Amino acid sequence: MLYLLLWLIILTGSIYFFKKTAGTLSLLKPNLNSIIFYYSFLISSYIGTLFIAMGIDDYYMINRLVFDENRYVGFYAISFVLLFFPLVAFLVSKIAGFDAKNEFDEYLKKDIVLPFSKKNEFFLLFSIISFISLAAVAYTMLKTAHLPILEIVLRRTDMSPGELRIEAQRHFGGNVLIRNIFAIALTPILSLIAYVYSVKTRDPKWILLFLALFAGAILINIYDLAKSPIFFYFIMFLLLKLYIGNIRFTWKKLSIWGTAGAVLLITMYVYVQGVTDLESYLNFNSADWQNDFCTNCTNLFAFRCIPG
């Protein structure tokens, strides 16, 4: 109970300072600070930290710790960061006279300025880079012996979806740098940039380029049946639409998107990983939930793995 009480106190203080620093923590107006709080700190680190400190995580990486007191030292270290990160940002904002709420509201109201939008040289250069990224996507598909998404559609193998995913990730026959940098990392970013230009210019050539990059981004995010990349891509896409004034978030929309995402995620777990017992899957000690909440913060508990 002590750690739960401390966790609630630290979380309350962190919320207060993050709200002062970000101007708002409302999900209807997400900004960089609120995204850092909700995802990087709360979901990825602090929820798992509580379970680890209370000893109810049963996480295999934590169970390998040589010193059990690392659970508590790690808890205090992460709590310190969660509280003092927004506190320092709040103090700096006060000293600099920065009003986050007004600045963010003004930012959302400003017109989007597109550099080089009327220069054909920029479109040509962007098209060349886009061609390279799309070629890298095609290269990834060609160098993957068993494309999970294709094998499932055509039913050409006896391997399960989970086995196909592992096969695609571990037995890639090409250059991993080309796949990771130009296909997986670059294509989604280029598609988002092209989307802004296509919306603001209404130029057919930008619209066609965006559609090609969007298709490539979707393909590279789902080809190996990975679950998180496609979700993160759509979240970035929605945030981009918000920031350029192409959409407004409402609680109704967030509820619909959240419900659809949860249903799709559970469906992917059931189909891809073959989960049949949903009760055990929804238990916190299932591997998937531990990976979501504990993996990112585990390194902070393993700083003293070697005795002496």
- The phi, psi pair for 27, rounded to 5°, reads -70, -15
pLDDT band at 308 (very low <50, low <70, confident <90, very high): very low
Confidence (pLDDT) at 306: 47
- Closest listed residue to residue 292, CA positions, set 125, 135, 57, 5: 57
Q: Could you tell me if residue 115 is left (phi over 0), alpha (psi between -120 and 50 degrees) or otherwise beta?
A: beta
**Alpha helix segments (H runs only) across 45-119:** 47-53, 60-63, 70-96, 100-109
In whole angstroms, give the CA distance from residue 186 to residue 88: 34
Give the residue, 288 or 81, on which the prediction is more confident. 81
Backbone angles phi, psi at 294, to 5 degrees: -110, -30
Give the number of other Cβ atoms within 10 Å of residue 69's Cβ: 9
Q: Tell me 299's DSSP state.
A: G
> Rounded to a whole number, what is the distance in angstroms from the first to the last CA of the chain?
32
Report CA dihedral (251, 105, 232, 281) to the nearest 10 degrees.
-40
Any alpha helices (H) in 244-299, and if so which ranges? Answer: 251-272, 278-282, 287-293, 295-298
Per-residue pLDDT band at 131 (split at 50, 70, 90)? very high
**Residue 263 CB neighbour total at 10 angstroms:** 10
> What tens digit of pLDDT does each residue of 211-247 get?
999 999 999 998 888 778 888 899 999 999 988 888 8
Angstrom distance (rounded) from CA 185 to CA 63: 34
Least confident of 46-55, 93-102, 123-132: 46-55
Cβ(227)–Cβ(151) under 8 Å?
no
Tens of pLDDT, residues 167-195: 777 778 889 899 999 999 999 999 999 99
> Do 72 and 53 contact (CB within 8 A), yes or no?
yes
Residue 276: phi, psi to the nearest 5?
Answer: -115, -25
pLDDT score of 73: 81
Question: Shortest CA distance to 226 belongs to which of 191, 280, 188?
Answer: 188
* Mean pLDDT lowest among 32-36, 52-56, 58-62, 235-239: 58-62
Q: How far apart are CA 182 and CA 139, in angstroms?
A: 10
Q: How far apart are CA 68 and CA 48, in angstroms?
A: 16
Element (H, E) at 13: helix 2-22
What is the helix (H) or strand (E) element at residue 207, kind and residue range?
Answer: helix 204-222
